[in-house]
Amino acid sequence: MSYYEKLANHFRKLSRLSHLGSICGWDQATMMPPGGNQARGEALAELAVVMHEMATAPQLADWFAAAKQEELSDAERVSLQAMERNWRLDTVLPAHLVEAKALAASRCEHAWREQRKNNDWQGFLPNLTEVIQLAREEAAIRAEATGTSAYDALLDLYEPGMTCAQLDALFGDLVTWLPDLIRTAEEKQKTRTFTVPQGPFPTEKQKELSQSVMALLGFDFNHGRLDVSAHPFCGGVPTDVRITTRYDEADFVKTLLGVIHESGHARYEQNLPREWSGLPVGQARSMGVHESQSLFFEMQLARSREFAELLAPMAAKVFARESDPAFSADNLHRFNTRMKRGYIRVNADEVTYPAHVILRYEIERALIEGTLAPADIPDVWHEKMQTYLGLSTLDNYRDGCMQDIHWTGGAFGYFPTYTLGAMYAAQLFAAVDRSIPNLRENILRGELTELFNWLKTHIWQKASTLSTDELIRSATGESLNPAYFQRHLRARYL
């Protein structure tokens, strides 16, 4: 057996353990009784330590050195590089920190579910402080190992190759035109009227509609399922993808768009190349690319005028509202493309969404760099919400700094990928539009196979065989160009 094959087998074993951890995490968020959290947290922490020990086994250094001397195909060399990157990321962290992070994240996320409902910032703060302190420790270790800044070191975990300098340039340009676009869109909307669909919309009917739309979008129910959690997510593994949502019987559209968003993540996972299954090279390229797929589905596709023609009769039939003018395609399109400043990121429209992301990026960067204390998060959040969106979150922690799940799990460096994903999505849709001349007519007819085949060929099947920049250039003909995002927003909202 070659050293490359030894490494491949080793990483596939790690992948199987990761599979178990993913499903246990899904169960923790969806099915587990509250009293099981301590034991589950300890079990997941133990698994994390076992995986860390395997991922940093002493013999791996020699195996990598030997594998580099072997005659490998181009594809195997790319795979070897991906394995070595993962190995280097793992070896810098001590096992005790890996365990501490897992335990702290489990405690914080589980308690957050009730604390957020109760607007209990003071109860939430001690757990969050522990998570932040551990994230700072990790960032410091990774920064020293890579010669980067603390936040850059964490950002690289989610968006390899991206830096604060690049983000500052991208986001700096965005804020030069976004406030004016928001104001102009608000003025234009005063001339547009729409009818708000009136509930109640029973949860079971919403689930029926959600699953019908998932089927339309090509979701493979033989290798995935839809459930309920406190915060929507997509998890599991490519052959067993779990997506979740939360239902609001007063607003079926909010739930449905969330399901469509997670379906974009799921289609990416379900269509990763099977020949690379279990290896780092066979995983999704980055969280920015992953978010590009969910936002491609939710924003570019599902909020289009053409998709509204598909959705309207489906929704009207499920809820028995065929004669309700609120369920006309024209009204649903206007409703789905309304722009309104709001508190909740996951419910935000395309235009205001980047403001939510930039706010979080600035706060979490300051937290990791040590220039912001955890106790001061609510005040800074309130100030930035007023600056970016003109809204007050004073004493409203539930709809302010406690609304997201990311920080409870220590996912610092993740938030910027949402707006990067929106930029990638706009650029990708423009490329698809050029490649498929009758794209919009196909969407109107519900013929989405050609569209999904394009994504499968240019994004999904590429997995991590290319860098993010190489992937975007190969799909669109150029590197990330935020002008496509601006052009898309102006065309749809102005």
pLDDT in tens, 162-174: 999 999 999 999 9
**262 among known catalytic residues:** yes
Which residues, in sequence order, are bridge partners of residue 242?
A: 225, 235
- pLDDT mean across residues, the chain: 97
The catalytically annotated residue of 262, 291, 350, 364 is: 262
pLDDT for the residue numbered 162: 97
pLDDT for residue 256: 97
248-264 mean pLDDT: 96
* Per-residue model confidence as pLDDT tens digits over 186-233: 999 988 899 999 999 999 999 999 999 999 999 999 999 999 998 899
- The model's pLDDT over 1-49, given as tens digits with 9 standing for 90+, comes to 999 999 999 999 999 999 999 999 999 999 999 999 999 999 999 999 9
**Percent of the chain topping pLDDT 70:** 100
> Could you report the per-residue pLDDT of 118-175, keeping only the tens digit for each?
999 999 999 999 999 999 999 999 999 999 999 999 999 999 999 999 999 999 999 9
pLDDT at 219: 98
pLDDT digits 0-9 by tens, 432-484: 999 999 999 999 999 999 999 999 999 999 999 999 999 999 999 999 999 99
Burial class of residue 39 (count of CB atoms within 10 Å of its CB; 0-12, 13-18, 19+) = exposed
d(CA 482, CA 426): 8
Domain range 158-494, CATH architecture: Orthogonal Bundle (1.10)
Domain map (residue ranges) of the chain = 3-157, 158-494
- For 131, the token pair is 């998570």
Pairing state between β 234-237 and 240-245: antiparallel
